[in-house]
Structure 1
Amino acid sequence: MTGNEFQSQTEQDLALLDGMTAAVTAAGRVLLDRFSASNRVGDITALLAAIDANDIASTAVLRPALERLRPGARWDDDEEGRGGLGPGEWWVADAAEGNVNHIHGSVDWGVTATLVRDDVPVLTAVFLPALNRTYTAVRGGGAFLDGAPITVSAKSDLKAALVGTGQATPGEDPTIRHAMSTSIDRMLDAALLVSATVPATLQLVQVAAGHTDAFWQYGQVRSGLLAGALLVQEAHGTVIDTSGAPWTLTSADFIATTPGLAAPLSAALTS
């Protein structure tokens, strides 16, 4: 793609942004109506039922709105999907990102939508209803919080860094669990402070906005990483795997951080 063609494509993608933002906002308002800080669940049966009910209510608003915007784009139905999607355009969305937090009365949840073209995220919108924040990014067009540009931090000293990780999904493979626990131990030695929480998107928007300095994860669930990956990239950050190679949907692991921390973080995780 030539420079002019890339610019033209970026402008076309920007034209979709208002509609995407409206879609995630409308779905988020549905979840907000269902939310209370006093929300609690008593057992696994009630938890799963509440998760399903939130997903159904939000998806009923989100999916038709996105499909009207880009009728030719396919829909990624697998909320725990991993790996590449294949050629063409896809909508990768999470109608209730951080759903488990919502049903436990925490504010750390939202709605995400990302347009993926030939396995590359090109446009994303993330709405956090309980915090009333909207993050957006367009490939080649920058990253924004409520319309204002955001950028990653300027950190280059891992000893001064605030870093985080998390569990991509319940029931992770034992190999992934071992890698995660080992990496936390390594980062407790290498970084200033380490957090482990869910969902990934809520940590990644903090990296993109410069409030924290890095996020890594071994579980490679698409819907949890794509929106944050594009936001961090467009906020002048670096998104790689632990070997230091550029991250893709087929990568085995994930790091999003500042340019100055990419090499030391990768080295700490692979030493």
Structure 2
Amino acid sequence: MSRELDTAVKAAKAAGEITLRKFGELSSLEIVQKEFKDFVTEVDKACEAAISSLITTAFPDDSMLCEEGTIAEGESGRTWIVDPLDGTLNFIHSFPVFSISIALRDTGGDILCGVVYQPVLRELFTAEKGGGAFLNGSPINVSSRCDRESFLIATGLPFKEYHYLDSYVAMLKEVIHDSAGIRRAGSAAIDLAYTACGRFDGFWEYKLYPWDFAAGILLVREAGGTVTDFEGRTDVFLKQSIIAGNATTHPMLLEKALKHFCPEHPLQP
């Protein structure tokens, strides 16, 4: 394990302990609405402070981009991308599905290492570029399922922006038809981690933020899966829409995304 990944693991676990101490104990005074249907808690802020402190101490020349506003401008060209509590609404409602996501992106835009930690289950997903993906130290791989009647597919639902709702619902109807079931966990980082270890056969979501997916896309790729945006591009940071899956589910989801979100795209039949 590299020094970078070791630091990310320590930071994720430190944040995880903060969440567990407060899980189910939040008061209304500890919850703030940032904007329409988007909330932050004192736990988000405490987790971000713990993570940023550990990382900036270990790598003072690196930059940081965190969901709750912590920004550090380093000189190395590398950037740590952090979601201190992915699934805040779940956490507020004591729904035990939330995670901590930490990734390191290099000067060329590649993700060097990533961690997704699910504190309630003590599940630690880790990956380094070229080194494979792991769950609690054991290697993981994307699923090998190729029968659409067996697919379990994850997604996220529109909750703030509705201009693409019709396209989303149209795609959802087709995915329901071509799968055994759909799940909406409320944490994109967990969705991607579960895709990496084969619990989900694929995942799609329109309009995420870098801290939602940075660590997860490395997990899926290092686990043998494919991740692109809705137009099939591998640089998902450009459009921030994600399709992830195995050799069967990724093409299936991409075809539907092109049809419903990018009807004028040259790859659209």
Query: TM above 0.5, one fold?
Result: yes
Q: Which amino acid aligns with 1:76?
A: L
2:88 aligned with 1:125: no
* Superposition deviation, residue 53 in structure 1: 0.7
* Superposition deviation, residue 99 in structure 1: 1.6
* Superposition deviation, residue 252 in structure 1: 5.3
* Per-residue CA distance 1:31-64 (angstroms, 9 max, x = gap): 111113xx5777xx87427833111211221111
* Superposition deviation, residue 248 in structure 1: 2.3
2:196 aligns with 208
1:101 aligns with 90
Instruction: Name which of structure 1's ranges 184-193 and 245-254 shifts more when overlaid on structure 2.
Output: 245-254
Alignment counterpart, residue 114 of structure 1, candidates 96, 103, 106? 103
2:130 aligned with 1:140: yes
Contact 1:27 1:61 (C-alpha < 8 Å) held by counterparts: yes
Q: Residues 60, 47 of structure 1: CA spacing in aligned structure 2 closer, same or farther, 3 A cutoff? A: closer
Alignment counterpart, residue 266 of structure 1, candidates 245, 248, 254? 254
**Root-mean-square deviation (CA), in Å?**
2.4
2:233 aligned with 1:249: no
- Larger RCO, structure (CA 8 Å, separation 6 or more): 1
Contact 1:110 1:129 (C-alpha < 8 Å) held by counterparts: yes
2:155 aligns with 165
Q: Residues 191, 247 of structure 1: CA spacing in aligned structure 2 closer, same or farther, 3 A cutoff? A: farther
Q: Residues 74, 252 of structure 1: CA spacing in aligned structure 2 closer, same or farther, 3 A cutoff? A: closer
Give the structure with the larger helix fraction: 1
* Per-residue CA distance 1:192-239 (angstroms, 9 max, x = gap): 211233111111111111111000011121111111111000111110
CA distance in 1, matches of 2:169, 2:77: 37
Q: Which amino acid aligns with 2:56?
A: E
2:181 aligned with 1:198: no
* Superposition deviation, residue 160 in structure 1: 2.5
Contact 2:30 2:42 (C-alpha < 8 Å) held by counterparts: no
* Per-residue CA distance 1:136-185 (angstroms, 9 max, x = gap): 000111101111100000022333211111047x422x333333222212
Q: Which amino acid aligns with 2:128?
A: V
CA distance in 1, matches of 2:18, 2:30: 20
CA distance in 1, matches of 2:93, 2:136: 26
Alignment counterpart, residue 8 of structure 2, candidates 5, 9, 20? 20
* Superposition deviation, residue 79 in structure 1: 5.0
- Secondary structure at 1:76 match in 2: strand
Contact 2:154 2:184 (C-alpha < 8 Å) held by counterparts: yes
Contact 1:241 1:255 (C-alpha < 8 Å) held by counterparts: yes
* Per-residue CA distance 1:95-135 (angstroms, 9 max, x = gap): 11112211211211121111011322211112211111111
Instruction: Name which of structure 1's ranges 120-129 and 238-247 shifts more when overlaid on structure 2.
Output: 238-247
CA distance in 2, matches of 1:64, 1:257: 34
Alignment counterpart, residue 51 of structure 2, candidates 56, 62, 65? 62
> What TM-score do you get using the length of structure 2 for normalisation?
0.83
* Superposition deviation, residue 15 in structure 1: 2.8
> What TM-score do you get using the length of structure 1 for normalisation?
0.83
Q: Which amino acid aligns with 1:140?
A: G
Alignment counterpart, residue 224 of structure 2, candidates 230, 233, 236? 236
* Per-residue CA distance 1:55-111 (angstroms, 9 max, x = gap): 12112211110112221111114459xxxxxx9211110111112211211211121
Q: Percent identity between the aligned chains?
A: 26
Q: Flag structure 2 segments of 5+ consecutive residues without an equivalent.
A: 34-38, 70-75, 260-269
Number of corresponding residues:
247
Contact 2:99 2:187 (C-alpha < 8 Å) held by counterparts: no
Contact 1:115 1:123 (C-alpha < 8 Å) held by counterparts: yes
* Superposition deviation, residue 240 in structure 1: 1.4
* Superposition deviation, residue 247 in structure 1: 4.0
Contact 2:225 2:246 (C-alpha < 8 Å) held by counterparts: yes
Instruction: Name which of structure 1's ranges 259-268 and 133-142 shifts more when overlaid on structure 2.
Output: 259-268
Q: Which amino acid aligns with 1:142?
A: G
Q: Flag structure 1 segments of 5+ consecutive residues without an equivalent.
A: 1-12, 81-86
Alignment counterpart, residue 92 of structure 1, candidates 72, 81, 93? 81
